[in-house]
Structure 1
Amino acid sequence: GAVLMPVDSEHNAVFQCLVGATKKARCEANIILTCSGGPFRERQDLSAVTVEEATHHPNWSMGKKITVDSATLMNKGLEVIEARWLFDFEPERIQVVVHPQSVIHSMVQYGDGVVIAQMGAPDMRNTIAYSLGFPERLDAGVKPLNFSKIKTLTFEAPDLKRFPQLGYAYDALKLGGAASIVLNAANEIGVEAFIQGKIGFTDIARLCHAMMYGFQPPTPTNLEEILETDKEARKLAQSWVEGFCDKLEN
């Protein structure tokens, strides 16, 4: 009977936008996850991206792994998968829109066309405080938005050709079974290999594609099987990285 509180900024925003919605309204609504676009939103050629470039985010201060995920848009793909299960929304009712200013943290569009958006400074203290105080609101010490100083709020569709991993997340949900486990494991191995200088930036997506469509284990039915599937997927992904490195050396 507990209330599950998502602390990630996007899911916390969706949670806030759904507060008070009836079951019927939820069934007719669409989730719109916002995405900063990462550091390479306007960069066309990603083949020569360096680790230093990929680990610096324009709006958020995060660890290396999550920052690289933001640069590939894999983080948004994982958020799509999470939103599907957190809120029980079908994948086709979860959209992603690029919003470089990171002022709107996510939105819900209801059946009547009305959109409820959660806005605020890009500061995790707000979402943490909301989760701790719900249903009350706690002062997190974050400076409020000054709308007279916000010049523009822009939106655009994500480019799935340059950032295919976002598309892979939707594919994983369609495939079902263990696909999401395999995708996540492959991405984690790939990001670590990139940070270590073993593979290139765009090779992370190649690894994810090879694993998700090349390794389709049985659907796990319990936690032990989930962990075993994850372990096996990581071993195969690591073998792919080692084979990639061997090709480069030869």
Structure 2
Amino acid sequence: MALGNGHSDMSARAPRRIVLLGATGSIGRSTVDLLERDPEGFSVVAVAGGANAAELARVARVTKAEFAAIRDESAYAELKEALSDTNTQVAAGREAVIEAAVRECDLVVSAIVGAAGVEPTYAALSAGRDVALANKECLVCAGVPFMRMAKKMKVRLLPVDSEHNAIFQALGGEDPARIERMIVTASGGPFRTWSRERIAAASVEEALNHPNWAMGPKVTIDSAGLMNKGLELIEAHHLFDVPAEKLEVVVHPQSIVHGLVAFTDGSVTAGMAPPDMRVPIAHCLGYPDRLTTPAPRLDFAKIAALTFEAPDFERFPALRLALDALANGGGLPTVLNAANEIAVEAFLDRRIPFAGIAGHVAEACEAALRDGTAREPASVEDALAIDHIVRERSRTVLAVAAASGMLTL
């Protein structure tokens, strides 16, 4: 298991050299907050972003990054100008982001949202870099080749997602053969108590109104439909080498317990923390040491009660789709993820209703099973090829449906 392998104690390296991919997103901003608080403990080698030149320049400036890469080549001039009075090198385009990912460092924080993060993260692994993984798509799209490369290069793949980080800590180095169940928790999102009909007709604003977490729009929409929990189970399957039948989801509205591990002797260990992403990020930045964070501390007397309930697959069909994709394996998780990204994008653009997300993903998975697109990807390149096919098909299908009036808000 790549989680337990890797380089010698990172605490022996001071300051720790960090590459931050996805520096302008929510995980990136939380990471920067921690890095700013400990300038003596960390040195930023490179930062990379998508298209927001102003924000990437701000991050590069406050972290004194040696190199800044922006994927959108049209944003190069703005980024160059914004950093003209610094010593930060600037580059743009796909290759520039990969260059950032493979620079010599102690840890690459992979926080690029979506399939765009797969290629640079894989490049970092291939270059022998330890990776703190916040990008779900890497393991959902190409879990087998990713874990194969991590094992080959003997690098650490540390989980940033609060659920996987909690499970990683709850495992405590136990023998994986003694695991009976592995459980990720779901807050239930903004629609936990809503009827199926009300959920189906939810507005963009309602879906983005998460009760516990402040996240980017794509992840927040996934959370509203519980698709994110299905994606997390697929991730857990690869990260911890646990079969699908041992993985579960339980709804926990307080978002205090993030993951649990049940062992064959009947004992259960739980990873608990406030709903603040700086906690799991700090765990990865400092591993195997621990950093001090400004996150609020748990006061169990004030919390008073922790409740749990089973997920409702009728009201949240996206979760069932993801579980079916995990059970069927092959390239179906890759198809599921690609179709979901395009459908979420369409919902955020107000081109399809909320119910249309799961509906489209189901149709895309069925089509891929019929025509062989859902084949097992032999490599990351193969997974990205499947991803591309499904994305293009999804865009076409949704555009035709919208034009014909089959999808209405």
Same fold (TM over 0.5): yes
Residues of 2 paired with 1:76 and 1:30: CA distance? 16
Which one of the candidate residues 222, 228, 247 is aligned to 1:75?
228
Match of 2:238 in 1: 85
Which one of the candidate residues 366, 371, 379 is aligned to 1:222?
379
Report the CA distance shift for 1:20/1:219 in structure 2 as closer, same or farther (over 3 A). closer
Residues of 2 paired with 1:75 and 1:238: CA distance? 21
Residue pairs, 1:105-184, within 5 angstroms? 105-184=258-337
Report the CA distance shift for 1:155/1:185 in structure 2 as closer, same or farther (over 3 A). same
Which one of the candidate residues 390, 393, 399 is aligned to 1:236?
393
Residues of 1 paired with 2:177 and 2:190: CA distance? 39
More deviation, 132-141/7-16: 132-141
What letter is aligned with 2:319? L
Shift of 1:249: 7.4
Match of 1:203 in 2: 356
Residues of 2 paired with 1:114 and 1:12: CA distance? 19
Aligned length: 248
Which consecutive residues of structure 1, in runs of 5 or more, have no partner in the other structure? none
What letter is aligned with 2:244? P
Which consecutive residues of structure 2, in runs of 5 or more, have no partner in the other structure? 1-153
Give the 3-state SS of the residue equivalent to 2:326 in structure 1. Answer: helix
More deviation, 170-179/82-91: 170-179
More deviation, 103-112/170-179: 170-179
2:186 matches 1:35: yes
Residues of 1 paired with 2:301 and 2:167: CA distance? 25
More deviation, 173-182/68-77: 173-182
Shift of 1:80: 0.6
Shift of 1:196: 0.5
Deviation by residue 1:162-194 (Cα, 9 ceiling, x = unmatched): 111111111112222110110000000000000
Shift of 1:219: 2.5
What letter is aligned with 2:282? A
Q: Give the number of the structure whose residues are more often strand, by fraction.
A: 2
Give the 3-state SS of the residue equivalent to 1:149 in structure 2. Answer: helix
Give the 3-state SS of the residue equivalent to 2:382 in structure 1. Answer: helix
What letter is aligned with 1:187? N
What letter is aligned with 1:220? P
What TM-score comes out, normalization by structure 1 length?
Answer: 0.96
Identity %: 48
Residues of 2 paired with 1:94 and 1:31: CA distance? 5
Give the 3-state SS of the residue equivalent to 2:388 in structure 1. Answer: helix
Shift of 1:3: 2.6
Radius of gyration: which is bigger? Answer: 2
Residues of 2 paired with 1:175 and 1:22: CA distance? 26
Deviation by residue 1:173-221 (Cα, 9 ceiling, x = unmatched): 2222110110000000000000111100000000000001111313221
What TM-score comes out, normalization by structure 2 length?
Answer: 0.59
More deviation, 15-24/40-49: 15-24
Residue pairs, 1:51-70, within 5 angstroms? 51-70=204-223
Report the CA distance shift for 1:65/1:104 in structure 2 as closer, same or farther (over 3 A). same
Residues of 2 paired with 1:249 and 1:149: CA distance? 49
2:157 matches 1:4: yes
